[in-house]
């Protein structure tokens, strides 16, 4: 077995290890609830995958939690679909 004749410096060691690092996962937005999720996975918040409901997320919740979560989801959907019409008064206001 080969034995090194001299000690490798810290900089040489660190240059060799420069590419060994953690990478951030590529996240995508869920088309239903707009939360960040891993690609090609079911959304844990709304339970949808490719526009179809795969998991019933309300099944395991208590009655109180179901009502709260349903209210939040309805509020999000209303905000997304809601487009405020622009009036002449809004245009004339100074920014």
The answer to whether residue 33 is domain-embedded is yes
Give Dmax over CA atoms of the chain in angstroms.
84
pLDDT, tens digit (0-9, with 9 covering 90-100), for 12-51: 999 999 998 888 889 999 888 888 999 999 998 888 898 8
- Residue 15 domain-assigned? no
27 torsion bin: left (phi>0), alpha (psi -120 to 50), beta (else): beta
pLDDT of residue 95: 52
pLDDT band at 63 (very low <50, low <70, confident <90, very high): confident
Residue 29's domain comprises 25-75
Alpha-carbon span 64 to 58, nearest angstrom: 11
Within-domain flag for 35: yes
Tell me, yes or no, whether 32 lies in a domain: yes
Phi and psi at 93, nearest 5°, equal: -70, 140
Number of domains present in the structure of the chain = 1
> Which of 31-40, 59-68, 83-92 bottoms out in mean pLDDT, i.e. has the lowest?
83-92
- Kindly state whether residue 3 falls inside one of the protein's structural domains: no
- pTM score, whole prediction: 0.50
The reply to whether 51 falls in a domain is: yes
* Residue 79 in this model has a pLDDT that exceeds 70: yes
Sign of CA dihedral 88, 89, 94, 95: negative
Q: Is residue 68 part of a domain?
A: yes
């Amino acid at each position: 077995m080969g034995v090194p004749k001299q000690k490798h410096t810290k900089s040489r060691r660190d240059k060799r290890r420069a590419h060994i690092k953690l990478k951030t996962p590529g996240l995508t937005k869920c088309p239903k609830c707009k939360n960040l999720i891993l690609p090609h996975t079911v959304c844990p918040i709304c339970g949808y995958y490719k526009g179809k409901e795969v998991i019933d997320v309300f099944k395991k919740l208590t009655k109180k939690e179901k009502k709260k979560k349903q209210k939040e989801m309805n509020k999000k959907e209303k905000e997304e679909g809601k487009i405020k019409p622009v009036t002449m008064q809004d245009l004339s206001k100074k920014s």
